[in-house]
């Protein structure tokens, strides 16, 4: 018989990655979502039952709990103000009451590692309180107390990512010297999934963490190494209060202050595993727990592999736990700058494509030749390839061909050409040119420049060239469309003249 599972927090980072693993293992999954529209584009939306509701509404929680065997509680408020502690405790009491009433056999909750014998931050204190309420519900409950979760989309990991990428030097609070035991997202999901099969006599909290105990500063420099950045000098400054540090994080990263405050408040203590009892209940994953640097590498690899495809169009993705999801927040993932332009053309898709495939070399780049030439000379001066390579064939391209300082990375003949920049820039750059048939007749030309900045120099570089984009890229769009239309017209005139 198929077991019914309820997941709360499916629009969040952990829940959105747990659901497909439960589905793959044959569970019938129901999700309770206050904003079901956030799940529209996730790849598993059609495979689950989505129940609109709020954790403070007992009736909607009762409806969601109907027939449920295991309930996952993966919700945590990350507000910087307001009486969120009472709100969270109230929601936990509602879930506990509805689960008990419905005869749920197990509740699984993800809390946070915390030290004993100190005054906890409000957010850590709230997580401890929620775990206690669920453990006392009368329903067998497993509470996992996890360290910083490492994976693209995790708020704590994204803060590490953006701080390290942006700042060549780190003025930091004294908590950068605190010890932390991070855990990879894939290992968190391993424990959450396995908890569904634990016997009913297991009713307790377990500490979980990865194999590495690091200082927060070491985590930032470990990220730098994996991201191909220089390690950052870090100065611990006692004047940085939690409030001031959160303002600083909000200023130099896209992390909202409402998230930065609770994260930083929770970093005031050492957060490491105090007991390893989980090993006697749930064995570690096959191959062992994932080390910090490996977890960072996986997150960065997934983002680099997929961001070119997903960051500028809303497409569904699935796969490894490190993969991005459409429900992830805007500030999650690698920083990406884009320049996107689109134009309708009277020319046919075939005529437009001939111009696209013939770009570069002797034909040039259809806009502001002097600017392209100057950029090519500048690239040569710093040891780059410049614009002198040209192209092998003036009319046709193959994947891997050089086109001046670009390389053909992806080619769908007649549809899309993606070029990867091989010039010397502080980051990674692409130029994508595509054509689609328009309704009735004609075609739509679309052009996208994409840049992944590397550190602060990459961001400054983008800002420096931004004024020229309005001239260069808009000119490219106009000239490419015009050339296609002119070539088609000339072809039609020749055909008419020949017929005459």
* CA–CA distance, 173 with 245 (Å, rounded to integer): 7
- First-to-last alpha carbon distance for the chain, in angstroms, is 78
**What is the reported pLDDT for 117?**
82
pLDDT in tens, 280-303: 999 999 999 999 999 999 888 755
Domain 4-310: assigned CATH number? 3.40.50.720
Tokens of 131: 């775990």
pLDDT value at position 327?
A: 53
What whole-number distance in Å separates Cα of residue 92 and Cα of residue 130? 6
CA atoms of 479 and 467, how far apart (whole Å): 19
For the stretch 395-440, pLDDT in tens is 999 998 989 989 999 999 999 999 999 988 888 899 999 999 999 8
Instruction: Write down the pLDDT at residue 275.
Output: 94
Confidence class for position 310, pLDDT limits 50, 70, 90: very low
- Integer Cα distance of 23 and 3 in angstroms: 11
Domain with CATH 3.30.530.20 in the chain: 337-499
Q: How confident is the model at residue 315 (pLDDT cuts 50, 70, 90)?
A: very low
Lowest mean pLDDT among 128-132, 187-191, 229-233, 246-250: 246-250
d(CA 386, CA 427): 17
What pLDDT digit, counting tens, does each position of 361-403 carry? 888 899 888 877 788 888 778 777 777 788 889 899 999 898 9
Indicate if the pLDDT at residue 228 is higher than 90: no
Give the mean pLDDT of the chain.
85
Helix axes 455-499, 349-357, angle to 10 degrees: 130
**pLDDT tens digits, residue range 90-108?**
999 999 999 999 999 999 9
User: At residue 337, what are phi and psi to the nearest 5 degrees?
Assistant: -110, 140
- pLDDT at residue 316 greater than cutoff 50: no
Place of tokens 């490996």: 294
pLDDT at 187: 97
Q: In this predicted structure, what is the pLDDT of residue 494?
A: 83
pLDDT (0 to 100) of residue 238:
65
Distances (CA, A) of 188 to 13, 68, 282, 284, 388: 12, 22, 12, 11, 51
If one compares 352 and 41, the residue with the highest pLDDT of the two is 352
Give the residue range(s) of CATH 3.40.50.720 domains in the chain.
4-310
Report how far Cα 2 is from the mean position of its chain's Cα atoms: 32
Provide the 10 A C-beta neighbour count for residue 284: 15
| 374 φ/ψ sector (left φ>0, alpha ψ -120 to 50, else beta) | alpha
Nearest to 140 by CA among 98, 199, 74: 199
User: 383-409 burial string, b = 16+ CB within 10 Å, else e?
Assistant: ebbbbebebeeeeebeeebbbbbbbbb
High-pLDDT (> 70) share of the chain, %: 87
What are 449-496's pLDDT values in tens digits? 988 887 778 888 888 888 888 888 999 999 999 999 999 988 888 877
Max CA separation in the chain (angstroms): 97
Residue 239 or 446, more confident: 446
Strands 141-146 and 4-8, by their bridges, are: unpaired
Q: What is the pLDDT of residues 109-163, one digit of tens each?
A: 999 998 888 888 888 899 999 999 999 999 999 999 998 999 887 888 888 888 8
Looking at per-residue pLDDT, the higher value among 176 and 79 belongs to 176
Rounded-to-integer distance, Cα 142 and Cα 301, Å: 32
Chain position carrying tokens 């959450």: 192
Per the CB < 8 A criterion, the answer to whether 32 and 91 are in contact is no
Q: How far apart are CA 230 and CA 61, in angstroms?
A: 50
Lowest mean pLDDT among 236-245, 336-345, 425-434: 236-245
CATH placement of domain 337-499: 3.30.530.20
321 vs 169, which has greater pLDDT?
A: 169
Which of these ranges, 43-47, 75-79, 112-116, has the smallest mean pLDDT?
75-79
Q: What residues have CB less than 8 Å from 160, skipping those under 6 apart?
A: 219, 220, 223
pLDDT in tens, 193-206: 999 999 999 999 99
Q: In the prediction, which pLDDT does 334 show?
A: 62
pLDDT higher than 80, residue 170: no
């Amino acid at each position: 018989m198929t077991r019914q599972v309820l997941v709360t927090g499916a629009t969040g980072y952990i829940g959105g990655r747990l659901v497909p693993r439960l589905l793959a293992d044959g569970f019938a999954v129901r999700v309770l979502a206050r904003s079901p529209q956030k799940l529209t584009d996730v790849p598993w939306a059609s495979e689950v039952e989505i129940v609109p509701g709020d954790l403070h509404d007992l009736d909607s929680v009762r409806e969601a709990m109907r027939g449920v065997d295991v309930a996952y509680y993966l919700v945590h408020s990350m507000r910087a103000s307001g009486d969120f502690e009472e709100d969270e405790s109230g929601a936990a009491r509602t879930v506990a009451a509805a689960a008990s009433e419905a005869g749920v056999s197990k509740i699984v909750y993800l809390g946070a590692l915390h030290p004993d014998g100190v005054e906890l931050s409000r957010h850590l204190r709230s997580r401890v309180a929620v775990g206690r309420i669920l453990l006392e519900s009368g329903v067998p409950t497993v509470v996992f107390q996890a360290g910083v979760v490492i994976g693209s989309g995790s708020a704590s990991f994204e803060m590490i990512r953006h701080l390290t990428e942006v700042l060549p030097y780190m003025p930091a609070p004294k908590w950068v010297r605190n010890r932390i035991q991070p855990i990879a997202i894939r290992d968190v999901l391993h424990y959450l999934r396995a908890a569904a099969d634990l016997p009913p006599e297991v009713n307790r909290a377990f500490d979980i963490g990865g194999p590495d105990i690091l200082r927060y500063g070491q985590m930032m420099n470990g990220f730098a190494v994996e991201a191909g950045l220089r390690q950052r000098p870090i100065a611990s400054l006692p004047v940085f209060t939690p409030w001031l540090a959160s303002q600083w994080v909000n200023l130099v990263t896209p992390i909202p202050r409402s998230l930065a405050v609770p994260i930083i408040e929770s970093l005031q203590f050492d957060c490491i595993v105090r007991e390893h009892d989980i090993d006697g209940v749930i064995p570690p994953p096959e191959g062992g727990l994932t080390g910090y640097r490996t977890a960072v590498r996986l997150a960065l690899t997934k983002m680099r592999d997929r961001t070119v495809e997903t960051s500028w169009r809303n497409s569904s993705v699935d796969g490894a736990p490190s993969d991005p999801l459409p429900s992830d927040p805007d500030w999650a993932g690698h920083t990406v700058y884009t320049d996107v332009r689109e134009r309708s053309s009277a020319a046919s898709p075939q005529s437009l494509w001939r111009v696209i495939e013939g770009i570069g070399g002797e034909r040039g780049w259809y806009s502001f030749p002097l600017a392209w030439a100057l950029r090519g000379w500048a690239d040569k001066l710093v040891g780059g390839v410049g614009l002198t390579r040209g192209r092998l064939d003036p009319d046709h391209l193959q994947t891997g061909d050089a086109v001046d300082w670009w390389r053909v990375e992806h080619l769908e003949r007649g549809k899309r050409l993606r070029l990867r920049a091989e010039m010397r820039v502080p980051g990674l750059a692409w130029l994508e040119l595509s054509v689609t048939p328009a309704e009735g007749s004609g075609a739509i030309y679309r052009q996208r420049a994409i840049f992944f900045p590397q550190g602060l120099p990459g961001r400054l570089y983008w800002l420096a060239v931004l004024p020229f984009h309005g001239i260069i890229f808009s000119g490219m769009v106009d000239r490419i469309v015009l050339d296609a239309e002119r070539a088609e017209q000339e072809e039609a005139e020749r055909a008419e003249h020949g017929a005459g």
